[in-house]
Structure 1
Amino acid sequence: MLLVYTHKISPRLNYIFKHICTRVLGFEVRFTTQIEEFIAHDSLKMSYTKQQLGKEFFIKSHDFLFEQGLSDVDINIQKWDNTKCFFSNSDKSAMPFDIFSASFYMLSRYEEYLPHVKDEFGRFTAEESLAYKSGFLHQPVVDIWAYKFKAALQAQFPSYKFPNKTYRIRPIIDVPSPYKYKLKGLLRTVGGTISDLSKFKLYSLYDRFGVLLRFKNDPHDTFKYILNRQKNTSSKFLFFFLIGQLSTYDKGVSPNKKDFVTLIKHLADYCNVGLKVSYFALEDAKRLKREKEKMEDILNTNLVASRHSHSKLNLPETYRNLIALEVKEDYTMGYINHIGFRAGSCTPFLFYDLDFEVQTPLKITPYQLMDVALLKQWSLLDKKKVLNELIHTIRAVNGEFVPVFHNYTFSEDKQWEGFKELFNLILDSAETT
């Protein structure tokens, strides 16, 4: 156990030290404001305050963890070995940066509370982020800083045995609609047929009626393949199904369709299943509650996990609505079009509400890759290279790789050619740890 001496035990300090020490590095941490208790402790210890007490392991604290609410924070990005950091320290500090304040800034998503330009969906974009602008979006900096902290502690306390963690994966299968043509209803089928005819999409027309007349398999019905992969890997897949009402942004299948419900139940026998929250339920608590209750009726158990349509988040309201409904985990934290680390981490963390200055019970599991981001790479070889680099980066900090694939990603559509191989590469990476 690490004992930390500090002049004030603030909610922010308690939150970030426990995340870095316990969640990332795997050891317990406790705090004291009593010098006598600190001196008497004969194991792992450090001071985190303005002035060093003596010759102890000392990291000079920035004011950031002792503040409340939002303010104009002066961020000065500097190079640090093979990474970058901010909140630089004095020469007397054991580390050149206050990694705890910097980590809190990243994990709390402080910058997403500040004024920023949103995209057409009303989302915070990668281009608006500090990580993208400063060139470290590709690194899990919070985890990298944590391991630098561990190395510095180990040097000071060479006999202390730190626990070891291992790399792991959590594959996400996002299902905005389970089928391309099946179960879409008369109006949408007629509308789709007219659209195909007007655009001379004869192959689509052939496909559509082949599926409807049941002599062809629906092109997006890839669940047999996915289930087969699940049965041959130790990493549990997590499916997110959209069951909300049809809208401009969501064009799924009605949860009143018996075949759709049967599919969800069948997959839930082998994989974990969560709710893909519809676009309009993001800001409508009543609609969100209806969708949650409907999914719980289907699964016949309490809903554990959610993920929002189009990866849209409105902080802090989105997470507060989930907390109010006792949803335990969310998987929306990431960027659709960019590979990288939106919160600077590949370790799940608890949502910290900056308005109330309180740690909440909602666990945020960030994703680092969505399948569509790999389309930027022209060849399959380039895609593999980018994917292997990402796996290596996460493995280096014993993190959790969370890739998001869709059911249609495994279809025979030319756009997704080779993606089964990429998915298998990810699955194999966990089996060879």
Structure 2
Amino acid sequence: MNQDYLELIKSHPELWDHFTRKEEYSSEFRDRFDRFPYYLSKTRNIFEPNVSEFLFKSGYTPKYPDGKKFAVCLTHDIDSVYRKFPAKCYHIAKSTYKKDKTEFSKNIKTIFNKKQPLCNFEEIMDLEEKYGAKSSFYFLALKPGDQDYTYDIMDLKDEIRNIKDRGWEVGLHGGHEAYNSYEKICEEKKRLEDALGSKVIGYRNHFLHFKTPDTWEHLARAGFKYDTTFGYADCVGFRNGMCHPFRPYNLNTNEFINITEIPLAVMDCTILHSYMKLNYDTAMNLAKRMIDKVAELNGVFTLLWHNTYLQSGTPELRFYEKILNYCQQNDAWITDGKSIQSTYENKLLDSVKI
């Protein structure tokens, strides 16, 4: 991000304060997960990427491979890969009641394979491949005793290396404490890299834990090239008015932070379940509205869909595929965080001129 870009936003104080999230630096209150929630923000036009729109109208027109109109960054947080025994029994009974022999056979096999069916990475990649897409999978790399330790990343060594070999991305899903600890981030990064056999450059924190600007500084210092945590858990939208990846700015040091933020727009449990709880038709209409706006501004629409919501036959899976279909029909480049970061770092961040 060059000086022209900085000065362009800085010349409009209200936009600058929103872009840098100035109000988060001195917030007296945070939620029970130590997050700054949307309901505390003074900026209420969450569905409008007003900073990006200002830049676009000022001449910022990013371009994407193959002449695509805009980009979609597909991401998955892998919180769980095991199904507990009572849940396995429930699904066996359900398929028996439905007299579905195929489903019954599949569920019986899960008794002996603790990873299935939540270890569904192949199915997810196969689905995305149908739409010419690929995605990022962010894995926890916790140790026993850590909060939400649900699997050992070394047990998934073959699975995550297969994801990488197919051309999809593996990144780190930082634990509950990592967002505020350089040491934790480094520890978990090394654990994942040991299992993967290569470096990781992409990051999202568990539960969308984030502290402005500290988390960015920790991640940059730890060697990550991009983060994609920056969105609200309690509402979909554009947290700092940006639907374009950007270089964060630290108001304490008056310097850019050496990392690219790919801002999160929509998370599955935010729009459907835990927070907004919209019905599927309303949620799809909102998602389309946001996608259309991002497309208009040649931006990036970042989607987070957990693997637990991508099981065969679920309404969440059908919703996800509808989004893929809509984005494909609207000429989107549908890809992973690594590809987005590389494109912006190499070609786009310095393209704004006053």
Give the structure-1-normalised TM-score.
0.65
Is 1:105 paired with 2:3?
no
Mapped contact 1:233–1:427 kept (Cα < 8 A): no
Tell me which of 297, 301, 304 is aligned to 1:401: 301
Mapped partners of 1:311, 1:137: distance in 2:
17
Q: Which has the higher contact order (CA 8 A, sep 6+)?
A: 2
Unaligned runs of 5+ in 2: 95-106, 334-354
Which of 90, 99, 104 is 1:203 aligned to?
90
Number of residue-to-residue matches in the alignment: 313
Asked whether the equivalents of residues 78 and 138 of structure 2 are also in contact (C-alpha less than 8 Å), the reply is yes
Cα RMSD for the two superposed structures: 3.1
SS in 2 for 1:114: coil
Per the alignment, in what secondary structure is the counterpart of residue 203 of structure 1?
helix
1:179-198 equivalences in 2 (<5 Å): 179-181=82-84
Residue 227 of structure 1, aligned match among 125, 129, 132? 125
Change (3 A) 1:113 1:202: same
Greater helix share, structure number: 2
Cα contact 1:171–1:402 (8 A) shared by 2: yes
Asked whether the equivalents of residues 410 and 419 of structure 1 are also in contact (C-alpha less than 8 Å), the reply is: no
Contact kept, 8 Å, 2:131 with 2:324, in 1: the verdict is no
SS of the residue aligned with 1:121?
coil
Q: Which whole-Å CA distance do the structure 1 matches of 2:59 and 2:214 have between them?
A: 35
Aligned in 2, Cα 1:403/1:417: closer, same or farther, shift over 3 Å?
A: closer
8 Å CA contact retained: 2:118, 2:308? yes
SS where residue 221 of structure 1 aligns? coil
Out of 145, 150, 154, the position equivalent to 1:256 is 154
- 1:123 aligns to what SS in structure 2? coil
Which string of whole-angstrom CA distances, capped at 9 and with x for unpartnered residues, describes residues 71-101 of structure 1? xxxxxxxxxxxxxxxxxxxxxxxxxxx53x3
Alignment partner, residue 428 of structure 1: 328
* 1:343 and 2:240 aligned: yes
1:130-180 CA-to-partner distances (Å, cap 9, x unmatched) read 222xxx1110000111233349xxxxxxxxxx8866311111111112333
Moved more, 114-123 or 374-383: 374-383
Partner of 1:372 in structure 2?
A: 269
**Structure 2 residue identity aligned to 1:178:** V
The alignment partner of 1:307 has SS state of strand
Could you tell me which of 392, 405, 410 is aligned with 2:292? Answer: 392
Provide, for residues 169-207 of structure 1, a one-character-per-residue CA deviation record: whole Å limited to 9, x for no partner: 1111111123334xxxxxxxxxx65xx7xxxx9616869
Task: For residue 210 of structure 1, report the CA deviation from its aligned partner.
Answer: 5.1
Shift of 1:286: 2.3
Answer whether contact 1:238 1:271 (CA < 8 A) is retained: yes
> In the alignment, which of 106, 111, 116 is matched to residue 212 of structure 1?
111
- Identical pairs, percent: 22
Question: In the TM superposition, what whole-angstrom CA distance separates every residue of 1:232-282 from its partner, at most 9, and x where no partner exists?
Answer: 33443111111112457423311232xx11111111122011100111223
Q: Are the aligned partners of 2:20 and 2:248 in contact in 1 as well (CA < 8 Å)? A: yes
Unaligned runs of 5+ in 1: 1-10, 21-64, 66-97, 152-161, 182-191
TM-score normalised to structure 2 length: 0.78
CA deviations on 1:9-44 (whole Å, 9 max, x unpaired) are xx99656247x6xxxxxxxxxxxxxxxxxxxxxxxx
State the distance in 2 between where 1:256 and 1:298 align. 5
CA distance 1:261–1:217, shift in 2 (3 Å): closer
Q: Does 1:130 align with 2:42?
A: yes
Aligned with 1:286 (options 183, 200, 221)? 183
Offset of 1:118 from its aligned partner?
1.0
1:157 corresponds to which residue? none
Letter in 1 for 2:217: R
